[in-house]
């Protein structure tokens, strides 16, 4: 970063205007710390952001992909991933285990920072008691870029073990689009029907995508098939 004037270097700029005044590339450059023989930290930051299509892409990128960026080795890839995970954790409130959910939006607000921005599809369940208070949230299946496989018996076994009377299904769309697929519609109807047989209410099925979500309950599409 020797080509920048001292006041324009990311570290000095942060001290002068605060972290909020830095660009995405400058923040990534500070995470990297140092550049390499042929590139500054700011150069590497620009390469990384171009490779992952911007700062949002950092939430899904793997260490292998980062290491493919010229000048980014295992150490720098680890620094970036650690910073992203630390940022993710700061968004997750230390929720009371007895937190009560009164609406799909409240459940989505709880789930989005935890599970929405992932590189592969994950399917999970939020277990609730009779007063819709949180028992626990857990991922039951991790799949590929566009598919995860889960069976009703796995979900309702988890509900029985946890003593849940109500549950919310959730999964993420790595594409960033929360619109349900035809398979999502079929799966939802299947789980609602199974819940009726098991005596466990399926309160909703949420699809998570970055900062957006789709609620089958809000859309009036939560029904047995």
Question: Given this model, what pLDDT does residue 89 score?
Answer: 77
Question: Given this model, what pLDDT does residue 1 score?
Answer: 46
Question: Given this model, what pLDDT does residue 146 score?
Answer: 57
List domains and CATH numbers for the chain: 6-91 (1.10.150), 104-215 (3.40.140.10)
- Contact between residue 83 and residue 19 where contact means Cβ atoms under 8 Å apart: no
Helix, strand, coil share of the chain (percent; to 5): 45, 20, 35
Instruction: Tell me which residues of the chain have a pLDDT lower than 70.
Output: 1-8, 91-97, 144-148, 225
Question: Given this model, what pLDDT does residue 166 score?
Answer: 96
Distance CA 87, CA 42 (A): 20
* Measured CA distances, 166 to 156, 162, 195, 214 (Å): 10, 11, 9, 19
Closest CA relative to residue 85, chosen from 53, 59, 105 = 59
């Amino acid at each position: 970063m020797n080509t920048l004037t001292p006041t324009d270097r990311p570290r000095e700029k942060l001290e002068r205007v605060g972290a909020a005044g830095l660009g995405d590339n400058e923040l990534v450059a500070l995470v990297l710390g140092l550049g390499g023989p042929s590139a500054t930290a700011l150069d590497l930051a620009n390469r990384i952001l171009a490779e992952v299509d911007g700062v949002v892409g950092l939430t899904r990128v793997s260490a292998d992909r980062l290491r493919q960026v010229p000048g980014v080795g295992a150490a720098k890839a680890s620094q970036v991933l650690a910073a992203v995970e630390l940022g993710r954790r700061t968004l997750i409130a230390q929720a009371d285990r007895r937190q009560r959910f009164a609406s799909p939006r409240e459940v989505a607000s709880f789930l989005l920072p935890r599970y929405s921005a992932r590189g592969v599809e994950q399917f999970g369940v939020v277990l609730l008691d009779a007063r819709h208070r949180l028992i626990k949230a857990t991922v039951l299946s991790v799949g590929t870029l566009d598919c995860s496989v889960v069976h009703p018996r796995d979900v309702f076994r988890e509900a029985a073990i946890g003593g849940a009377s109500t549950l919310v299904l959730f999964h993420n769309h790595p594409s960033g689009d929360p619109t349900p697929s035809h398979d999502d519609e079929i799966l939802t109807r299947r789980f609602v029907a199974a819940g009726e047989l098991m005596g466990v209410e399926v309160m909703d099925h949420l699809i998570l995508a970055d900062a957006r979500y789709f609620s089958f309950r809000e859309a009036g599409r939560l029904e047995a098939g």
